[in-house]
Structure formats: structure tokens, C-alpha cells
Amino acid sequence: MSSPPVSLPETAPSAATGLPLSLTLLLASGAGLAVAALYYSQPMLGVLGTDIGASTQSVGLLPTLTQFGYALGILFLAPLGDRHDRRRIILGKAGVLCAALLLAAIAPSLITLLAASLVIGLSATLAQDIVPAAATLAPAAQRGKVVGTVMTGLLLGILLSRVVSGFVAEQWGWRAMFAGAAVSIALLGLAAWRRLPRFAVTTQLPYFALLASLGALWRQHAELRRATWAQALLAVGFSGFWSTLAVMLHGAPFHLGAAAAGAFGLAGAAGALAAPLAGRIADKHGPGIVTRLGAGLVTLSFATMALAAFIPPGAQLWLLVATAIGFDLGIQAALIAHQSIIYSLDAAARSRLNAVLFTGMFIGMATGSAAAAMLFAQFGWMGVTALATATALAAFILRMRR
């Protein structure tokens, strides 16, 4: 049974003082550290596969299972945020995520690493408990600003995780990266235990009725369906690019290590830092136009990436950097706009609406990782580029429909 609603501690917001900056930064950092756990493996796939004697296609299952686990966790666990105290959920998931990362660090075989990856994905969904928590804690006048800050932390976690893991793996090995990540989540759990208030529940629905309500929300809100499909299609190319980039750079003609692959996260971070501008445009002109601008930018960026086949290797790297900035900016802008759309549908069901959107998004990511691994093995980098361009174009067409 869930905890009864209680008064919030002194660190909680009030209409007069707003949400303390320290608590806002804790939420942003927590979202970033949690979601980063999904992506640490991607720049390390080249060296990791060599170390444990696994094929390119086999190690490609690591990000696939992590993202699939995340999608399952959002679908089956994230709705609990409307039914139970989010503080307890966040602390529980932090403990499980820390243990799964430690298991990955000591994994003796690919099978163990694959199992740990699935659990990492399931428990990293604490990021999707933190975002609705921020929306709940923030006074109405500051909600957009606070959620935007937390989402910036989450997006930077996605992108900078690759920079960090690439560098750590090259200097100290991939096992050190997973061990360090476990320590970061343990520290996050301690800070959350000390600072987070308890949360009142917004529904008394039993668990299976809560899950069934996801289907009702899906049928009820056409905008939810449209947002979910579009974001899932954009996620296919996003994941396909990042899950095969390290393997592509590891081979001819580049022969670059994990640090180089991770450094591409800096390009994506530039796009994420510019993404809050999308929120201001959405406030002024409506989120619909931002979704179209974002999907169009993603399509153009991936289509331009195809030119890499016709230019020298040095120029190819610069082209990849430029297009990575473009498609990351487009995807993050579309995501922020889609969240703005769905959060306005039903204030009492924000965790469930968020669960539907992100379940679709991470199913798209898992699909993108698996499809890109197969296409890369059969057709090389051009196969990955074609997949990303086609799915982004489909999202753009969907958003252009009135």
C-alpha cells in the first residue's frame, strides 16, 4: 500500500519561494546520471568485444537489451509514480541500478553482461520518475523552467556519457567505467535520500488497473498517439547512429579508439544545450511547429550524412560532427515539444502519459540498435544512414499532417 500524503519538508517549494536551486540541480543531475547508464557501453563496444572475444553482432545486443529493458521499465514501472510515493520509487531503483552496474563491471562473460544490461535498462527508468517529480514539485509559474532544466540534465547525461565512457575505457578499461558509474548512482541515492520530499499519490487504482489505464489514455488522446509514433521514429535513427558509430570508427579507414567515439558526444551535447530554445519557441508559437522543425532538421542531417561516402576520411569526420549536432538538436527539440503536448492532456496522469511516450521512444531506440547492427554488418555505414534518413522522413511526414 502506498504511503499517505504528508506535508513536505522545508526544502520543498512554496508558491512564494519556488523550488530551491540546489534541489533543481539535484533532480537534473539525477536524471542525467540515471539515463547515462544506458549509453556507457556504446563507445566501448569495439574494445569490449575484443576483450571478451565476442563478434560485432553479439556486442551490438548490449545497447539493444539495455534500451529494451528501459522501454519495459517505463511501461511496467513508471506508471507507479501516480500510485506510490515517488521518493521511495527513486531510492529503490537507484539501489537496483547500482547493483546492476557493479555486476556489469565484474561480468565474466558476455551472457552475464547481457543480463546486467537488461537490468540496467529496467532500473535506469528512475530518470522517468525524476522528470514528473520535478513537474510536481515546481510551482505552476516555474514548471516549464524547472522541467526544462531537468530535461537538459537528462539530455546531457545521454550525450556526455559517451564522452566519459570513451575516455575512461581507453585509459583504464571498460570495467572501470561500469564500476565508476555504480559509485555515481550510489552517491545520487544518498543525496536523494537526504533531500527529496515525499510525494502524495494522485490515483488509488490497483496496479493492473493502472496499467490498463495506459491503453485508455492511448485511445483517448490522439495527440499522445501522434507524439509517441513521431518520437519513436526519430529514435530509430538516433540509436542506430550512436550504437554503430564506435564500431565504424574502430575499423578502416579511421582506426580510432573508444575515446574518439565518445568525443562525438560533445557534438551532440552542443545540440542538447541549444534545445531549451525549443521550449521558448513552443511557448510563443505552440509546440506543434517545434515538432515539425525538429523532425525536418533530423531528416536533413541524416540525409546530408550520406555524402560521407564521396569525400576523404578527414572530411568525413567533420561532416559526421556537423550532422551529429544537427540531428541531436532536432531530436531533443522534438522531444521537449512532445512532452509539452502530452503534459497538458491530463495533470493527474503525468507519469502514465510520460510512460507511454517514452515506452514508444525506447522501443524505437531498441529497434534502431538491432536494425543498425544488422545493416552495418551487411551494407556498412551507408545502410545505417539509409535507415536513419527513412525513419526521420516518416516522422516529419507524420508531424506535417494536420
Phi, psi of 4 (to 5 degrees): -70, 155
pLDDT tens digits for range 139-158 = 866 766 777 788 888 888 88
**Residue 236 pLDDT grade (very low, low, confident, very high; cuts 50, 70, 90):** very high
C-alpha cell at 251: 575499423
- What pLDDT, in 10s, does the model give residues 6-27? 333 334 444 445 688 899 999 9
CATH of domain 21-208+220-400: 1.20.1250.20
- Phi-psi category of 210—alpha, beta or left, where left has phi over 0 and alpha has psi -120 to 50? alpha
Which residue in 260, 365, 276, 272 sits closest to 313, CA to CA?
260
The answer to whether 295 touches 234, Cβ cutoff 8 Å, is yes
pLDDT in the model for residue 276: 65
Rg (CA), the chain: 20
CA 52 to chain centre: 27
The answer to whether the CB of 221 falls within 8 A of the CB of 344 is no
Query: At which residue does the C-alpha cell 497538458 appear?
Result: 344
> Quick one: pLDDT at residue 222?
94
State pTM to two decimals: 0.75
**pLDDT computed for residue 272 by the predictor:** 65
Q: Which of 151, 182, 177 is nearest to 164 (CA)?
A: 177
Q: Which three cell numbers stand for residue 397?
A: 511526414
Domains of the chain, by residue range, sit at 21-208+220-400
Looking at residues 347-366, what average pLDDT do you find?
Answer: 86
Q: Residue 100 in contact with residue 120, Cβ under 8 Å?
A: yes
Mean pLDDT of 307-315: 76
User: How far is Cα 73 from Cα 354, in angstroms, rounded to an integer?
Assistant: 12
Q: What is the mean pLDDT of residues 300-315?
A: 83
Alpha helices per DSSP H over 251-311: 258-274, 276-285, 287-305
Number of H helices, E strands in the chain: 17, 0
